[in-house]
């Protein structure tokens, strides 16, 4: 199949085109037994569920354009190659945290992978008010393990440089992040949209010099500071959950960047889920209680990130940075601890900044989130979104001052009681 030119799959052609692949048959059974449905609801790709006599698999295939926009916005097929390479690295660095890959075909831009039975997208679950025990711990460990082990703290540096060169090819998807996250929200760019009632708040943000400068400093860090292999799009639509189980999916935006990017995007999406709750849970007591769970989950995410990063720093620091030869081997373990605290503080500061711009772009940019979009009462939606906008600014500008998640969640509760329109 590698020699056949790229052709988009349809439910009708999946069995013919993938039926001979042993790794797929091993998980789905003989192709005669397959039932295929297309379920892609994301912005970019085709996603098929293949159900056969032996079980189910997911077939994800890139399209040569942005599905959300159409053929007028071409997007290269090689994002499937980068997704595959990110998935196998994440599986090695954080075992059990991502779907198992069964097959990759670079020319057809497809990955066949584990079907996650009974799982739903976390974003949907957060709108429904469902609790997932251990979610914060899972996400914190995922970030710590993939980021530490995907950096010069844990990797052989020659391997990291070869990998940096490989992922530097993910140009067009980085370009989407660079423009849609860091620049377009801060001026009236063509593809932007926002709820009309937000106009005064939007005007004030776009006239906010300090905010624009800070967002561009964050963009420079994202584009240049290749600290670790990032997931690159780690929001609550890239997490699947089922009860107390969870997996991270869709790393096609993978790139080397600052560790705080993945962490900050996750925090942002929990904060927005909390801020949008008035549109989804009518009962005040239930809403407040669920809001507390969401904020607590974000807090646990950071705490477990920090704890696992610390554990890895003490046990797996075998890269070129902060070498034990300078610290532990000289009887100066305290020096390594001092450096670790500096690094965690820098990741935290970056994360708050990225968190703030993520909140802005989800309300002002091209790619919105369901939590806001599905609030049909436009006045209520605007009220919730305005809180997200002022919240985002407070995080970007305050990223050097806000010390911990307690301060972040306290500010969230403050903002949720107020109206900024």
Binding site for a copy of itself (CB under 8 A): 151-152, 157-158, 161-162, 164-166, 168-169, 171, 174-175, 178-179, 183, 186-187, 189, 206-207, 209-210, 212-213, 216-217, 219-220, 223-227, 320-323, 325-327, 329-330, 332, 334-335, 338-339, 342-343
Residue 211 CB, nearest approach to a copy of itself (Å): 10
In this structure, what token pair is assigned to residue 80? 């499937």
The residue among 150 and 264 lying less far from a copy of itself, judged by its C-beta, is 150
How far apart are alpha carbons 360 and 201 in whole angstroms? 11
Of the pair 98, 174, the CB lying nearest a copy of itself is at 174
100/178 with CB nearer a copy of itself: 178
Closest to 230 (Cα-Cα) out of 113, 90, 347, 357: 90
Sorted by sequence, the CB contacts under 8 Å of residue 410 that are 6+ apart come out as none
Which residue lies nearer to a copy of itself by CB, 13 or 330?
330
Supply the minimum distance, in Å, between the C-beta of residue 10 and a copy of itself: 32
- At its nearest, how many Å lie between a copy of itself and the CB of residue 227? 5
Helices within 119-197 (DSSP H only):
122-128, 135-149, 157-167, 171-182
Least Å distance, CB 360 to a copy of itself, is 13
The three-class DSSP label of residue 49 is strand
CA–CA gap between residue 315 and residue 45 (Å, rounded): 39
CB 169 within 8 A of CB 77: no
Q: Which is nearer to a copy of itself, 121 or 176 (CB)?
A: 176
Q: How far is the CB of 217 from a copy of itself (least distance, A)?
A: 7
Rounded Cα distance, 109 and 47, in Å: 12
CA distances from 149 to 90, 156, 160, 206 (A): 9, 10, 10, 38
In the complex, least distance from residue 45 CB atom to a copy of itself, rounded to whole angstroms: 22
- Rounded distance, CA 291 to CA 294, Å? 5
* Choice between 312 and 408, CB closer to a copy of itself: 312
């Amino acid at each position: 199949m590698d020699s056949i030119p790229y052709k988009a799959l349809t439910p009708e052609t999946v069995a013919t085109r993938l039926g001979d692949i042993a790794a797929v048959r091993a998980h789905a059974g003989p192709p005669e037994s397959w039932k295929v449905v297309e379920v892609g609801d994301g912005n970019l790709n085709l996603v098929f569920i293949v159900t056969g006599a032996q079980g189910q698999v997911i077939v994800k295939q890139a399209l040569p354009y942005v599905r959300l926009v159409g053929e007028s916005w071409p997007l290269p097929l090689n994002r499937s190659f980068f997704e595959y390479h990110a998935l196998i690295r994440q599986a090695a660095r954080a075992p059990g945290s991502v779907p198992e890959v069964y097959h990759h075909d670079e020319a057809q831009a497809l990955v066949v992978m584990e079907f996650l039975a009974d799982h739903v997208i976390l974003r949907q679950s957060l709108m429904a008010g469902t609790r997932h025990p251990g979610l914060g711990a899972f996400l914190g460990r995922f970030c710590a393990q993939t980021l530490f082990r995907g950096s010069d703290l844990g990797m052989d540096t020659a391997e990291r440089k070869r990998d940096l060169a490989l992922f530097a090819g993910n140009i067009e998807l980085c370009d989407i992040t660079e423009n849609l996250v860091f620049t377009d929200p801060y001026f009236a760019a063509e593809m932007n949209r926002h709820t009309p009632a937000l106009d005064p708040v939007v005007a004030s943000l776009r006239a906010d010099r300090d905010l624009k400068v800070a967002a561009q400093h964050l963009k420079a860090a994202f584009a240049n500071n290749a600290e670790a292999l990032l997931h690159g799009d780690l929001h609550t639509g890239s997490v699947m959950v089922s009860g107390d189980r969870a997996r991270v999916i869709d790393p096609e935006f993978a790139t080397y960047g600052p560790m705080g990017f993945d962490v900050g995007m996750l925090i942002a999406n929990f904060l927005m889920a909390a801020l949008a709750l008035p549109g989804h849970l009518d009962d005040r007591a239930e809403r407040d209680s669920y809001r507390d769970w969401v904020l607590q989950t974000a807090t646990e995410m950071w705490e477990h990130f920090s704890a696992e990063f610390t554990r890895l720093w003490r046990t797996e620091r075998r890269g070129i940075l902060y070498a034990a030869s300078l610290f532990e081997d000289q009887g100066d373990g305290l020096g390594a601890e001092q450096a670790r605290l500096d690094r965690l503080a820098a990741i935290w500061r970056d994360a708050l900044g990225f968190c703030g711009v993520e909140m802005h772009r989800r309300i002002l940019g091209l790619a919105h989130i369901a939590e806001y979009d599905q609030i049909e009462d436009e006045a209520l939606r605007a009220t919730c979104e305005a809180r997200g906008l002022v919240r985002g600014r407070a995080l970007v500008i305050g990223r050097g001052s806000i010390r911990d998640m307690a301060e972040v969640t306290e500010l969230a509760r403050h903002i949720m009681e107020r109206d900024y329109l």
